[in-house]
Amino acid sequence: MKSLDLSLLAELREFMDADVHILITEFEADTRERLIQIAQAIENHDAETLRQTAHSLKGGAATLGALSLSQQFRGLELRGRDASFSGIEQDFGNTQRSFEEAMVSLNKWLLQS
């Protein structure tokens, strides 16, 4: 679970108690939907949708202590801001892998805490 900020998750657990499970479940569902939006934005070279969607996901990932994933979304957000689509498919693929890894870690954390 090296990709997670465990101290932040502990604080979140203290604040939300069992509802942290709901937050993680909703984050996963929302992110899966928004990754589809990002893929469409990349395909359509829609820089503003890419920027806005990645910005929103960046914050959600950071809230859950998934800082590496948050950084991946920040990179996509900057690509949207700059309308830079050259080679973005690799960055997007890395972001998708980072998301899957973060979800494995978050779900493992839930089981252990």
**Domains assigned to the chain:** 6-112 (1.20.120)
pTM of the full predicted structure? 0.92
Termini Cα distance of the chain: 13
Q: How does pLDDT run across 76-110, given as a tens digit for each residue?
A: 999 999 999 999 999 999 999 999 999 999 999 99
Q: How does pLDDT run across 38-63, given as a tens digit for each residue?
A: 999 999 999 999 999 999 999 999 99
Helix 19-44, helix 88-112: angle, nearest 10: 170
